[in-house]
Amino acid sequence: MRRKLAAGNWKMNGDRAALAEIEQVAKAPSAAGVEVLICPPATLLAEAAARAAGTTVTIGGQDCHPAAAGAHTGDISAPMLADAGARAVILGHSERRADHGETSKLVRHKAEAAQAAGLVAIICVGETEAQRDDGTALDVVARQLAESLPDSAGAENTVLAYEPVWAIGTGRVPDTAQIAEMHSHLRARLAARLGTNVAQGIRILYGGSVKPGNATEIFATPNVDGALVGGASLKAGDFIPIIDALAAAG
């Protein structure tokens, strides 16, 4: 049985005053029924983890360097994230792939580093609009998965997030048949690589314009084990109804 996961990605948003949103989310009764992860910017990690301590909400990072330490100005390692109180880290988000030229090979090295530090690697994959339109989405995403996923991937240390680039921050969402097709494709690729038992345990999140108004329909889709939520995770008033919908999805 895969435990449902609602993960919030604050991206480059939030100051210390925003930490109150985490406390609000932690008080929601539905947050105890599913797994809730909030990934604030690195500047807020340690304090976010302190505020979430003793609640069911956990805290994660948004990126890490593949090395554990060294001369990499401006970067943060996986052991540093763990030391700050993170339990997970988002890797290979399309914004990092686009803004920082991150390749799937680099994402794989980062995921290996995250797992070695005891963090859950949330590996993001997703096609562009042009790739969706030209019919190559399934192949593109399968290749990203093959190249980004470490051989050490398992249910305890890996979560996948399918995030069509064209749905992120746009208010546009694939129809549920498209989400179901991609998630079942990802599950099959995981099984081919890691075996059926391991593949059945790995959670696959949907991400891209998840909102209170569409969450119930998305969470009813086969093989959707939760969501990676950007904009709607910034305010407890938006994120809690999404968590409610996930808890109600059973």
For the question of residue 163 being annotated catalytic, the response is yes
For the chain, give me the number of helices (H) and strands (E)? 11, 8
Least CB distance to ligand PEP at residue 165 (A): 9
For the question of residue 112 being annotated catalytic, the response is no
What part of residues 117-146 is at the interface with ligand PEP (CB under 6 A)?
A: none
Say if strands 120-125 and 226-229 run parallel, antiparallel, or are unpaired: unpaired
Closest residue by Cα to residue 190 from 230, 229, 225: 225
* Annotated active-site residue in 93, 102, 127, 183: 93
Please tell me whether residue 157 binds ligand PEP under the rule CB under 6 A.
no
Window of 54-62, 138-146, 175-183, 227-235 that interacts with ligand PEP by CB under 6 A: 227-235
Least CB distance to ligand PEP at residue 151 (A): 26
Least CB distance to ligand PEP at residue 79 (A): 24
Which alpha helices (DSSP H) does the chain contain, by range? 19-27, 45-52, 78-83, 94-99, 104-116, 129-133, 137-148, 176-194, 196-201, 215-219, 236-249
Please tell me whether residue 169 binds ligand PEP under the rule CB under 6 A.
yes
Neighbours of 112 (CB within 10 A): 18
CB-nearer residue toward ligand PEP: 11 or 194: 11
3-state helix, strand, coil in the chain (%, to 5): 50, 15, 35
* Annotated active-site residue in 35, 163, 183, 185: 163
Please tell me whether residue 19 binds ligand PEP under the rule CB under 6 A.
no
Least CB distance to ligand PEP at residue 170 (A): 7
What part of residues 183-222 is at the interface with ligand PEP (CB under 6 A)?
A: 207-210
Contacts of 27 (CB under 8 A, 6+ apart): none
Size, binding site for ligand PEP by CB under 6 A: 13
| Cα distance from N-terminal residue to C-terminal residue, the chain | 11
> Which positions lie near ligand PEP, rule CB under 6 A?
9, 163, 168-169, 207-210, 228-232
Task: Write out the catalytic residue numbers.
Answer: 93, 163
